[in-house]
Amino acid sequence: MNLKKIYEQTEIVISFEVFPPKDDANGEKLEKLMSELEVLRRYHPSLVSVTYGAGGSTRGKSEEIVCRVKNELKITPMPHFTCVSTSRETIKNYLQAMETAGVENILALRGDLPKDGTICHDFLHASDLIEFIKQESSLSVAAAGYPEGHAEADSLQKDIEYLKLKTDKGADVIYTQLFFENEKYFQFVEKCTHAGISVPIVPGILPVTGYKQLAKMTSLCRVSIPEKFLSALEKHKDDSDYVKKCGIDFAMNQCRELIESGLPGLHFYTLNKSFAVSEIIESVCSSQAI
Ligand code: FAD
> Ligand 1 centre from 97 Cα, in Å?
23
**Ligand 1 atom nearest 80 alpha carbon:** 28
Q: CA 30 to CA 254: how far, in whole Å?
A: 30
107 touches 78 (CB < 8 A): yes
Instruction: Give me the active site residues, please.
Output: 17
| Best of 65, 110, 159 for a ligand 1 pocket test (most atoms within 8 Å of beta carbon) | 110
> Ligand 1 centre from 111 Cα, in Å?
6
3-284: which CATH topology? Answer: TIM Barrel (3.20.20)
Q: Is 201 in the pocket of ligand 1 (CB under 6 A)?
A: no
The predicted pLDDT at position 117 comes to 67
Q: What confidence tens digit (pLDDT) does each residue in 201-240 have?
A: 999 999 999 998 888 877 788 899 999 999 999 999 999 9
> Ligand 1 centre from 67 Cα, in Å?
25
77 touches 104 (CB < 8 A): no
Domain boundaries, the chain: 3-284
Give the Å distances, CA to CA, from 99 to 96, 120, 195, 234, 247: 5, 24, 33, 46, 38
Q: Which amino acid is at 152?
A: E
pLDDT confidence bin for 289, thresholds 50/70/90? very low
> Ligand 1 centre from 39 Cα, in Å?
31
80 touches 50 (CB < 8 A): yes
Q: Is 20 in the pocket of ligand 1 (CB under 6 A)?
A: no
- Please report, for the chain, how many H helices and E strands are present, in that order: 11, 8
Q: Is 43 in the pocket of ligand 1 (CB under 6 A)?
A: no
High-pLDDT (> 70) share of the chain, %: 97
Mean pLDDT calculated for residue range 283-288: 75
Q: Is 204 in the pocket of ligand 1 (CB under 6 A)?
A: yes
3-state secondary structure 229-240: HHHHHHHCCCCH
**Ligand 1 atom nearest 153 alpha carbon:** 9
The predicted pLDDT at position 82 comes to 93
Q: Which of 48-57, 72-81, 267-276 has the lowest mean pLDDT?
A: 48-57
pLDDT confidence bin for 115, thresholds 50/70/90? confident
